[in-house]
Structure 1
């Protein structure tokens, strides 16, 4: 996890105890990192939720999040993340991904359409172009928020949409 913190520019940031294992219960992690310690007869813990919002992160999204195979919820909302979603993220098994309020851009990220475990996807950024038909591969999707993007086309019928606006900030 230290590699992820480093790529996000969080190492050394006050209020985060990067020298402590976030699953140990030690350090200042309780509101940002959630772990499940029920693996291998309650002897192994894995990070299942990461909430790193409002941290003024202004870098590209690191592909290293894929090294957290049990991660189910990732919230990187309201930072200044830029670029697009790494193609490696297609292997992640997230149920919730929130990237709202960043500066991510480009065409709709195809890596997301291979994340078939997604239930909630909040993607308010500056993506543009057509909404790909393969969004329908997200069969478990219950929430799809594409507001503030410059996307066009129709949402495939197997998806729901909370809100879609055509304004990119």
Structure 2
């Protein structure tokens, strides 16, 4: 008698199980299982069981209404190995793709990523990816963040990346990129210029003058082989906050640079910068400043934030003097 009374509960439980299982779109589940297989079934993807709803799998998020996969985030696993699988392109509703800190993820960026037209965040940083940065990334018109940092990418930076209309952050630092910074980077078409990180590469030539057209909130060109001046980054009408030009071969008169009121961090150490520090720099709210290892002369202006920095942020200049360095003679 008790077993008969429990039959409705049993059917209800079965109905709920079936309903939940059907939430996951079968095309998405197939793509994810192919990705798992291509990665040699790593432990981090153990929850990817074909008998369960893929919307509940680890590293995956679904849209609550459509139940299509919108996010795939796999990170910090040295047991996952292989190249980016072509099946990633079979997740057409993907908005976030993060493959991060996977030291055994190798090879190029697979061209099927160009099929992900809804993609907003593409983070392939801290891996062992290689080859050139492909032009097809410029077709991802909804992309807001593109991070390819800490890999082994080589070759030149594609001019076409400036075509990304919604780009808010471009991180290509710590690779083996060569050639010049594209002149097209002064022509990003979005409402605001992206934060630009190109440090720790082998970039050469001059910083393109076209950059004067844009307002970069943050720009890091450090540890390259750049020459010439950097005036195009500054200006009284700019709103740039963080500028790192350190460890290049830049050669310009710092006295002639007009810094915007927004500037809070400036690093030009290990260059060939000459001239002196403008008195107007005392009016800036510097959180960080480093002008060491250059050819600066004259007295460090007194006031503002300039005396709060250590001697190490000023030393190894031609004839710079005044606190926190020794007194001027």
Query: TM > 0.5 between the two?
Result: yes
- Taking the aligned partners of 2:202 and 2:101, their CA distance within structure 1 comes to 24
Give 4+ residue runs of structure 1 displaced > 6 Å after superposition: none
Give the corresponding residue for 1:165.
222
Give the corresponding residue for 2:144.
95
Give the corresponding residue for 1:149.
201
In the alignment, structure 1 segments of 5+ residues that lack a partner are: none
Equivalences for 1:99-110 in 2 at 5 Å?
Answer: 99-110=148-159
Looking at secondary structure, tell me which structure has more helix per residue: 2
Task: Tell me, yes or no, if the aligned pair for 1:98 and 1:123 is still in contact at 8 Å.
Answer: yes
Q: State the number of aligned residues.
A: 157
Task: Tell me, yes or no, if the aligned pair for 2:159 and 2:183 is still in contact at 8 Å.
Answer: no
Match for residue 47 of structure 1 among 81, 89, 94: 94
For normalisation by structure 1, the TM-score amounts to 0.78
- Taking the aligned partners of 2:196 and 2:34, their CA distance within structure 1 comes to 26
Match for residue 132 of structure 1 among 182, 186, 197: 182
| Structure 1 position 118 matched with structure 2 position 175 | no
SS at match of 1:118: coil
Query: Relative contact order (C-alpha < 8 Å, sep 6+): which is higher?
Result: 1
- Taking the aligned partners of 1:139 and 1:11, their CA distance within structure 2 comes to 41
Change (3 A) 1:142 1:164: same
For normalisation by structure 2, the TM-score amounts to 0.43
In the alignment, structure 2 segments of 5+ residues that lack a partner are: 1-30, 69-92, 226-329
